[in-house]
Structure 1
């Protein structure tokens, strides 16, 4: 037994190191390995051929098959612990296509064999997105159609649980292969698996595939620069590992390619799947109904709304606009779901459908909840996260992914708690504007109004936001005090020193010294201002309504002045360093001042995640002060505009004439002739 383990270790080590010659040499040793390439190496029943397939070396697998061909008898149908034959393993890699051809030449029965998951090799090729292998195995299966019965032939494309190769490709995220399968086998589009779900319904759950659309301006620009067209995916590049490549760039290119494939697949499936989106029941206005006994899978439109797949929602509403009135098994409309899962982009799309929107806002679910109740019933979509792996991974076992289902995790957010609570409050106010007094005061089956549900559901968030705001204000106040201390001390540490007799700074008349003085004073002023703002936050009552505008505005202003104080301090340091270089001071001092930039920069970068989400508060400040300023309203002159011109004592015509004369005098003052003076309209 000890010798067997030793022999296995030598062979396993050679496979691990991808030493093909050594593997072939060891398998030729009949005394140590009587079964040769079919020798079982692992506790999972994997033979040498199984393990060779994991290395994705077609040459090695072919050589091992040649060794078997020279034997008088062999059994290629041997299966490992999960029931995979060597053809099952080869089907997971396009690179092993020559080896797969040789396997079928040696034993064509491999094509019909299924593993413990009832998957044929053809099924595995579709599951792992290996289209070349899939095309070859599909062609071979068609040739065997005359030799086998219809039931055995059907297993190539559909398992006993009714799931098809199209389901497998979509679930595993192989959208490009899924699109080709859907176009080739259109009858599979409407097929439902054991859960009653079509391929379109499974696609609607993959929100990760459509995240490119939600990228910010910078990331969206980078996606467009990857060279992948949204009209049609780019021609695949050769898999040449040589040359320089940026991993992040390649990852973003793959994400864009996935998005384009998923978008095209969605268009095709929506057009061909004419059944799954109709599986719904009518719903009456404000009447509280009983929930249906049988729970059916949700229609693709509502599933896509949950996941935030805007592309699928757009395609469905474009072809079947009447689908907007469909409901789920709990009687919730698309508006209920969009608000509940915070898919506001989809909510806005339906909002633009004015007539239908007015009708849908009157609907309640089976528990009597209106769309305003849904604001308080916030739910995060359990996203189907795709594991980030490369297309071709050597030394990896495809079987490991079979038992590990997709990770279901809550959608994370980078917003702070105050912004989250503010968004909920603003959404409640926004939806409330659309609802009449009847629906605002409407109670659900539990006797709760929408406001009561909202207050109850946001109680924990309110408490957490209050504690977070207190901690943040306290810590920021401490930072502000430290910055104020440094700025105050810097005011008395004059660069270049002072005159011993008069005490006047030696570099007083130097422009850089003026910059140092001004920036230091501004830093001190901004620091004290931010300190006062943070103290006002700490002394507030933290009422729920205060989180709508008051507290977020104060937090934003506090961060703004704090970051300005840091920026002014950086400019002050820069001016000091410039003065040192100008006066030829020691380079050691210059190095010290230069190093001082590092912690300041890190401080700014660390505060950016807190500061950037609060910038939206500027919008609300502008909306508050906007009514106090005159604005152009078109051809009809407003009364306020007339009063404004009367207030300054001039008409529009006189004011324009006065402006033209003033500009002419301005140019003549600088020695311009009348002909050289530009026309006022050209300056606009």
Structure 2
């Protein structure tokens, strides 16, 4: 018993001892958390009253991380630009050179953060204490100079340039500071870098890409592929809004190419341009509204991107692309595969695939011999434009005045002519109801390219033994079936609507407001409200006729065979006719309803019929525009190609 009591007492002592230790540890943890939170708040606020807080924290904790990313007090001071606190810690001798070199989990020092967020004063204070900070690299091999270029912080970049060396211009993947500025979209800074260090234009990263390659891979930086043209009207946003944006974009003045960039602290995050024009204060105020500022920034950004592209193209050695492609072409003639792992990417091929007309045009103007370069499959830029279905780039190349006969007759490594490439299915294929429109445009594109090509290519077989027509039918078989099913379902639905509209108008003609005179059989309102009653009959007759016409054309569509040729001319014609007729039947029916109220003197105004008619007409016209613009656009291009291009004329 005594033994049990003694051992129980000893266990109790151990239990209370460990309980005391856990309380002390918990208290210490809570105290540390409280100190860290207070230090963090002091850094963010940046007030004079808070300086003692992070000073005392620094004495106790030093470079101990404040968060799970390994950021110290110095990192946060650099992020929030608290230069007074940094100056205070350095003045008191609390921060050593080794403290300044402390890194977080990404390998970034406090100077990296100051460069990333553009706090020049903080960076200058740190560099004054420790110049070697400029040479510190993070895990990606980025120096603070590289980070400043990637984030478009011009003032910090100019400061760090004083400590620059060739080793500081690259990171681990071979990207230079010029690459970094282009990747970030800070083209004005990139122009400045290019002017100061022209040799960087030819430097390549580990993937063999120069700054021009990276720029040619950013279609949003150029107007031809942006949302500010009318080329994609009806596919990206509301048509009136799209048109308004394009008009405003066109009216905004742009920086002249001869103008030099204006030194600015940083570039807008939503735009690559920092160029400012000499505009009146009223114009700047108007363009300061968010929606207008977005358009203004986009236009200036496109102008600066084009300026940068022109400078990079002039410094590009184009012979290496031409010679590489020619060797590949010769190798393919002897059965050697052209897909080389060490192939250097061609910015012209890249810009062609993305449809950047400005870059393609500038490259060909400086290096006309680049017109006959080939990609890995032995395709020239005209064939690539056809395969990628870049309509406007194809039109530009065909009308540029350059002899296209050689490019039209070229055959790629797989034996495909340019017509075979036009027969490829667009990827990814559309989903209903867009399948009908996609099939329609695919047929038009195929015929357009076929008519531009030589007749002997029409029956040429590729390496699979298929002609271009066979390739088209095979690739588009599923799309054609989906389009047929979609059109039939749509026709059945519209047929029901047109039948209802026709029935309503037919019944309304024989049940007019006011009824008929029992003696003469004439409508009562015909004698005393002749004009208003006549308009009512006209609207009802127009609605009935339009509905009957719609029903007739819909029956033609339903009983069609839906062959490939039908999608070229017949179906689009009947579709447009149906849209117009159902539009007018709806307009006439709604306006007839309003006119009936006028006849019965429910609404008495001289201008009411005219106002009602134009209001209803405009409202339904907007709906028709949104739903059927692509079809009307198709008819426009069909007529344009038929009248303007030599293929159809022959």
CA 1:355–1:532: 2 relative to 1, 3 Å = same
Equivalent residue, structure 2, for 1:46: 71
Equivalent residue, structure 2, for 1:292: 338
C-alpha contact (below 8 Å) 2:216/2:359 kept by paired residues: yes
Q: Deviations over 1:424-457 (max 9, x none)?
A: 2122222222333432222222222222221112
Equivalent residue, structure 1, for 2:252: 226
How far residue 345 of structure 1 moved from its aligned partner, in angstroms, is: 2.4
Equivalent residue, structure 1, for 2:324: 280
Q: Secondary structure at the match of 1:423?
A: helix
C-alpha contact (below 8 Å) 1:120/1:156 kept by paired residues: yes
Find out whether 1:615 has 2:632 as its counterpart: yes
C-alpha contact (below 8 Å) 1:556/1:614 kept by paired residues: yes
Find out whether 1:524 has 2:544 as its counterpart: yes
Matched ranges for 1:536-551 at <5 A: 536-551=556-571
How far residue 269 of structure 1 moved from its aligned partner, in angstroms, is: 1.0
What is the CA–CA distance in structure 1 between the aligned matches of 2:429 and 2:113, rounded to whole Å?
34
CA 1:500–1:33: 2 relative to 1, 3 Å = farther
Equivalent residue, structure 2, for 1:188: 200
Equivalent residue, structure 2, for 1:206: 218
What is the CA–CA distance in structure 1 between the aligned matches of 2:504 and 2:122, rounded to whole Å?
72
Q: Deviations over 1:397-424 (max 9, x none)?
A: xxxxxxxxxxxxx799999322322222
Equivalent residue, structure 1, for 2:107: 83
Answer with 19-28 or 165-174: which moved more. Answer: 19-28
Equivalent residue, structure 2, for 1:102: 125
CA 1:528–1:320: 2 relative to 1, 3 Å = same
C-alpha contact (below 8 Å) 2:444/2:638 kept by paired residues: no
Q: CA RMSD in A?
A: 3.9
Q: Deviations over 1:627-674 (max 9, x none)?
A: xxxxxxxxxxxxxxxxxxxxxxxxxxxxxxxxxxxxxxxxxxxxxxxx
TM-score by length of 1: 0.74
Equivalent residue, structure 2, for 1:337: 384
Equivalent residue, structure 2, for 1:401: none
CA 1:116–1:617: 2 relative to 1, 3 Å = closer
Equivalent residue, structure 2, for 1:559: 579
Find out whether 1:92 has 2:116 as its counterpart: yes
C-alpha contact (below 8 Å) 2:512/2:523 kept by paired residues: no
What is the CA–CA distance in structure 2 between the aligned matches of 1:527 and 1:334, rounded to whole Å?
49
CA 1:117–1:511: 2 relative to 1, 3 Å = farther
What is the CA–CA distance in structure 2 between the aligned matches of 1:352 and 1:625, rounded to whole Å?
15
Matched ranges for 1:107-256 at <5 A: 107-138=130-161, 140-142=162-164, 153-212=165-224, 215-216=229-230, 218-229=244-255, 231=257, 234-235=275-276, 245-256=288-299
How far residue 254 of structure 1 moved from its aligned partner, in angstroms, is: 1.6
Equivalent residue, structure 1, for 2:461: 443
Aligned residues between the structures: 571
C-alpha contact (below 8 Å) 2:353/2:385 kept by paired residues: yes
Which of 462, 487, 490 lines up with 1:469 in the alignment? 487
Matched ranges for 1:529-678 at <5 A: 529-576=549-596, 605-619=622-636
Q: Secondary structure at the match of 1:448?
A: coil
CA 1:531–1:61: 2 relative to 1, 3 Å = farther
Equivalent residue, structure 1, for 2:471: 453
Q: Deviations over 1:584-618 (max 9, x none)?
A: 69xxxx9xx99xx89x9876545433311111354
C-alpha contact (below 8 Å) 1:317/1:323 kept by paired residues: yes
CA 1:428–1:72: 2 relative to 1, 3 Å = closer
Find out whether 1:271 has 2:314 as its counterpart: yes
How far residue 110 of structure 1 moved from its aligned partner, in angstroms, is: 1.8
- Runs in 1 of length 4+ with deviation above 6 angstroms? 236-239, 241-244, 410-415, 496-503, 600-603, 620-626
CA 1:280–1:494: 2 relative to 1, 3 Å = farther
CA 1:189–1:623: 2 relative to 1, 3 Å = closer
C-alpha contact (below 8 Å) 1:330/1:366 kept by paired residues: yes
Equivalent residue, structure 1, for 2:240: none
What is the CA–CA distance in structure 2 between the aligned matches of 1:195 and 1:466, rounded to whole Å?
46
TM-score by length of 2: 0.77
How far residue 47 of structure 1 moved from its aligned partner, in angstroms, is: 2.9
How far residue 503 of structure 1 moved from its aligned partner, in angstroms, is: 6.8
What is the CA–CA distance in structure 2 between the aligned matches of 1:487 and 1:192, rounded to whole Å?
72
Unaligned runs of 5+ in 2: 1-28, 231-242, 260-272, 644-650
What is the CA–CA distance in structure 2 between the aligned matches of 1:101 and 1:168, rounded to whole Å?
22
Equivalent residue, structure 2, for 1:630: none
Equivalent residue, structure 2, for 1:346: 393
C-alpha contact (below 8 Å) 1:280/1:299 kept by paired residues: no
Equivalent residue, structure 1, for 2:369: 322
Unaligned runs of 5+ in 1: 143-152, 381-409, 627-684
**Which structure features the higher share of helix residues?**
2
What is the CA–CA distance in structure 2 between the aligned matches of 1:107 and 1:520, rounded to whole Å?
88
